[in-house]
Amino acid sequence: MKKNTMLHDLVKGRYFFSVMSLFVLIGISCLMSPSFLSLSNFITILRQASILLILSMGLTAVVLTGNIDLSVGSSAALCGCVCAQMLVAGFPVILCMGASLLIGLTVGFINGLLVGILKLPSFIATYGMNMVASGLAMIVMNGGVIYGLPTNFTTLGVGYLGPLPVPVILAAILVVCMMILLQKTVFGRNVYMIGYNANAADYSGVNSLRTLLGAYLLCGMTGAIGGIVMTARLNAADFGMTEAYGLQIVAAVVVGGTSLLGGEGGVLGTVIGAIILTIIVNIMNIMGVNSNWQGMVHGIVILFVVWLDVFARRVGAGRALRKQRESVKRA
């Protein structure tokens, strides 16, 4: 049963467009650059995608509730910076990572409160939080950059477990956990219900505040993990290190077929979305395209996908209405 619905989603359902564009993209990439299909490039793509994927994992839950979190990028940077500073100061690795996680969770918690209790529009509250977090990251780094972290920490980013890079394994574990959480638990169901219709959820006795807080906490947590892994991978920390990821994180979720209206989509889509975006960047790098084009490409991709979502919905609604009219006429 479970496999069936997953397969159905991939082949015919929500993720159809995402899967199709992934294949088309891979096809084009192969034509454009023969080195694209090499094993080493494959591993590179996976590793690059894994950080993006970790960062956008929690955001998927938030977008499913019909809200957004624009602070993921800078809160990840903040967490990475705190972790690096503490490592340099000589704290044990576990403690450093714990502190970063705590900061990520705090950011998520505040976001959740602002959106859930104060009912501020989520994009305003989290955009403000984005500013605050990047400002704090700047303070933590004192405007500078840190190089050279302990090797037992950097393994998290550059190490391998068998043939697979550690970040990829981490991302895979997170994906599985998130899938179980969102598809197989009462909490996950409530996340979807709030996204479908927050008012109806309230009128059904769903505790929407707790669910929303949960989603934002997840988002803060995965943001922190992403920040830590990224710091380990770079073997350095810089307050602007996630700048390039800012829009990509949102784009990965949206390109993966999760609707900004909430309720539709899921983690599986985000996996595809993250891989698509990474391939786009990868192929641009291989082709030697100026990296300044990336923002433009991501912007266009996100606009196109959101438009497609709304357009498909409108076409669907129109078709349903016409069907209805015909059946009424016949009756």
Partner 1 sequence: MRKKVYDNKGIRSKGFRLLTFAPPALYMMIILMILFSFFADHYFAWSNLSVILRQAAPLMMLACGQTLIILMQGTDLSLGSIVSLTSVLWIWLLNLGFGMPVSILLVILAGALCGLLNGLIVGKGLLPVFIVTLGTQNIFKSAALLLCGSQTIYYRHDLFRMVAKEGLSGISYSVMISFLMVGITWFLLNQTSFGMKIRGIGGNPEALTLAGVSISRTTIMGFIYAGIMAAVGGMLLCCRIESGNPNSGNGLEFSAVAAVLLGGTSMREGRGGVGGTIFGVLMLQVLRSGLTQVGVSSIYQNAIIGIVILTAIILDEIIRRRGGEED
Partner 2 sequence: MTTNKRPLLRAENISKSFPGVKALSHVDLDLYPGEVHILAGENGAGKSTLIKCILGAYQPDEGKLFLEDSEIRLRTPKEGIEHGIAAVYQELTMIPWLDGAQNIFFGREPKIAGTTIINRKKMSCQAKSLLDELGCQEIDLTLPVKKLGIAEQQMIEIAKAISMNPKVIIFDEPTASLSDREVDRLFAQIEILKKKGLAIVYISHRMKELHAVGDRITVLRDGKKIGTYPERELSDDELVSLMIGGNIEEVYKKTSVPGRETALEIRELSDRKGKVHECSLQVRKGEIVGLAGLVGAGRTELSRLIFGIDKSSCGQVLLHGEDVTGKSPEYLVDHGLGLLPEDRKGLGLALRAPISWNVVASGLRQVFPHFFMNEKKNDSVAAEYIRMLEVATPDVQRNVGQLSGGNQQKVVVAKWLCANTDVILFDEPTRGIDVGAKAEIYVLMNKMASEGKAILMISSELSEIMGMSDKIYVMREGRIVGSLERENFSEEEIGRMMLLSGEGEGA
- By CB under 8 A, name the binding residues for partner 2: 1-2, 5, 183-187, 189-190, 192-193, 196-197, 199-207, 263-264, 320, 324, 328
Per CB under 8 A, 310 contacts partner 1: yes
Q: Which of residues 112-141 bind partner 1 (CB under 8 A)?
A: 114, 118-121, 123-125, 127-129, 131-132, 134-136, 138-139
User: Nearest approach, Cβ of 319 to partner 2 (angstroms)?
Assistant: 12
Per CB under 8 A, 143 contacts partner 1: yes
Binding-residue pattern over the window 266 to 305 for partner 1, x denoting contact by CB under 8 A: ------------------------x-xxxxxxxxx-xx--
Planar angle of CA 43, 44, 48, nearest 5 degrees: 120
CB atoms < 10 A from the CB of 22, how many? 18
Nearer to partner 2, 181 or 297 (CB): 181
Query: What backbone torsions phi and psi does residue 161 show, to the nearest 5 degrees?
Result: -120, 100
**Residue 138 interaction partner, one of partner 1, partner 2, none, beta carbon < 5-8 Å per kind:** partner 1
Q: Which of residues 66-95 bind partner 1 (CB under 8 A)?
A: 68, 70
User: Nearest approach, Cβ of 291 to partner 1 (angstroms)?
Assistant: 9
Beta pairing, strands 160-161 & 145-147: unpaired
**Residue 125 interaction partner, one of partner 2, partner 1, none, beta carbon < 5-8 Å per kind:** partner 1
Residue 53 buriedness (CB in 10 A; 0-12 / 13-18 / 19+): buried
User: Contact at 8 Å (CB) between 178 and 61?
Assistant: yes
User: Contact at 8 Å (CB) between 106 and 127?
Assistant: no
Cα separation, 80 vs 83, in Å, equals: 5
Dig out the tokens for 266 from the structure.
Answer: 């899921």
User: Nearest approach, Cβ of 8 to partner 2 (angstroms)?
Assistant: 11
In angstroms, how far is CA 141 from the centroid of its own chain? 25
Amino acid identity for residue 187 in this structure: F
Cα separation, 107 vs 281, in Å, equals: 29
Interacting residues toward partner 1 by CB under 8 A? 68, 70, 114, 118-121, 123-125, 127-129, 131-132, 134-136, 138-139, 142-143, 247, 250, 254, 260, 290, 292-300, 302-303, 306-307, 310-311, 314
